Amino acid sequence: MNEPRNDAPDSKREFLHRLVLMDGMALLFLLVLAGLWYAADALLLIFACILFAILLYGMSDTIRQRLHLRRKFALPLVVALLLAIIGIGGWLMAPQIADQSDKLAEAIPHAIEELRKSLNQNDLARRLLGGVPSNEKLLAYLGRMVPNAGLFFSGVLGAFGNVLIIIFVGIYFAAAPYTYIDGFVLLVPHNKRERAREVLSEIGRTLSKWLMGKFASMVLVGTLTATGLALLGVPLALILGIIAGLLDFIPYLGPLMAGVPALLIAFSTSPTQALYVVGLFGLIQLIEGYMLQPFIENKTVSLPPALTIVMQVLFGTLFGLAGVALATPLTAVLAVVVTMLYVQDVLGDKVKTPSEQ
């Protein structure tokens, strides 16, 4: 006679094992989220270092192909050329930039005061806008933004420290990128390592193309803005053009942010000149949006405008100004990961990645 099987203890043991496993995975997921949240500034700084490394690597690869140099000579040549350009440009324009920066810091509060007086004299504008906040309130608002404005360190010296870290770490990354890529791939299971390399390679191509296009756009926008403001007779045209070029790194929102100080300075001179400045920035955006941007996106990477703006708002809410600045390249990375690992691998759809579209 067969003995009755007692499967109850085994089933109970298996249930408890699954329960502990699920609880452990949930706890690990929460710990990872907490770590990402509290280390967000450091992670954003690391991502900025990677972006700079990709830019250096792409430029050195172009020089290597054009001049038929070995990579170990091409990268130092790129770094030397960048240092020479920055050094010579700084030596030629540093006195003017420093002088205009000081004058801009003095002119902005005066311009805000003039705008406040003009709005207070207009009943309709006062009712619609409720008046312009006082300078003290504006400074307090900016002070609340400062803790989230940087990548890791805050303040002027902190910003300089961030730049130094990005430069040096970016050079080290660009000098031996496969050392770090191989180390990351080792964390992936054996049967997935080849796919991981493909994803990382596609991320590198996508970011490299985006950075090249954005660098060209920044130079053109900065040059057009400085030249246009100088022709209109707006004071501090050089520093305002530099600000416009730098903020053009942030698509869509950056040009709006760059136009505010230029508009305030022009308005303090005359309302008519402020209208001319609005027309100038509108013309530059038309040139960039309908002539330059389609050409650059045809050669580099195209991201949906609505998705870019939504991600800027999301990352800005979570991580402050640094999140806004890095939202677009982060979106490009997420687009590659979702396309390759989910749409292609899980769903089986043969769709193109952002750099292939």
For 19-38, what is each residue's pLDDT tens digit?
666 766 677 667 766 666 66
pLDDT at 118 over 60: yes
Percent of the chain residues topping a pLDDT of 90: 11
Q: What is the model's pLDDT at position 10?
A: 64
Provide mean pLDDT across the span 89-103: 72
d(CA 71, CA 81) in angstroms, rounded, equals: 15
Taking a C-beta distance cutoff of 8 angstroms, is the pair 49, 31 a contact?
A: no
Question: pLDDT confidence of 51, banded at 50, 70, 90?
Answer: very high
What is the number of other CB atoms lying within 10 angstroms of the CB of residue 1? 3
Burial class (CB in 10 A: 0-12, 13-18, 19+), 158: middle
Q: What is the model's pLDDT at position 9?
A: 62
Token pair of 213 as six digits = 């296009």
d(CA 312, CA 304) in angstroms, rounded, equals: 12
Q: What is the model's pLDDT at position 256?
A: 84
Q: What is the model's pLDDT at position 33?
A: 65
For residue 55, the one-letter residue type is L
Helix (H, G, I), strand (E, B) or coil at 154: coil
d(CA 163, CA 152) in angstroms, rounded, equals: 10
d(CA 305, CA 311) in angstroms, rounded, equals: 10
pLDDT at 352 over 60: yes
Residue 36 contacts by C-beta under 8 Å, 6 or more apart in sequence?
Answer: 43
Taking a C-beta distance cutoff of 8 angstroms, is the pair 262, 286 a contact?
A: no
pLDDT at 155 over 60: no
Q: What is the model's pLDDT at position 119?
A: 65
Question: pLDDT confidence of 173, banded at 50, 70, 90?
Answer: very high
Q: What is the model's pLDDT at position 252?
A: 79
d(CA 206, CA 355) in angstroms, rounded, equals: 5
Q: Which of 47-56, 107-116, 264-273 has the highest mean pLDDT?
A: 47-56
Domain boundaries, the chain: 93-151+190-344
Neighbour-count burial for 86-119, b at 16+ CB within 10 Å, e otherwise: eeeeeeeeeeeeeebeeebeebbeebbeebeeeb
pLDDT at 354 over 50: yes
Q: What is the pLDDT of residues 226-252, one digit of tens each?
A: 999 999 988 888 888 988 998 888 887
d(CA 157, CA 54) in angstroms, rounded, equals: 26
Site of tokens 């990872």: 32
Higher pLDDT, 6 or 328: 328
Higher pLDDT, 105 or 150: 105
Q: Which of 233, 232, 231, 287 is nearest to 255 (CA)?
A: 287
Burial class (CB in 10 A: 0-12, 13-18, 19+), 170: buried
Question: pLDDT confidence of 279, banded at 50, 70, 90?
Answer: very high
d(CA 311, CA 214) in angstroms, rounded, equals: 18
Least confident of 34-43, 83-92, 190-199, 209-218: 34-43
Q: What is the model's pLDDT at position 227?
A: 93
pLDDT at 304 over 90: no
Higher pLDDT, 116 or 179: 179
Question: pLDDT confidence of 70, banded at 50, 70, 90?
Answer: confident
Q: Which of 189, 171, 213 is nearest to 53 (CA)?
A: 171
Q: What is the model's pLDDT at position 152?
A: 56
Provide mean pLDDT across the span 115-135: 61
Provide mean pLDDT across the span 193-219: 89
Burial class (CB in 10 A: 0-12, 13-18, 19+), 149: middle
Higher pLDDT, 129 or 219: 219
What is the number of other CB atoms lying within 10 angstroms of the CB of residue 163? 13
The backbone torsions φ and ψ at residue 166, rounded to the nearest 5 degrees and listed phi first, read -60, -40
d(CA 315, CA 321) in angstroms, rounded, equals: 9
Taking a C-beta distance cutoff of 8 angstroms, is the pair 278, 271 a contact?
A: no
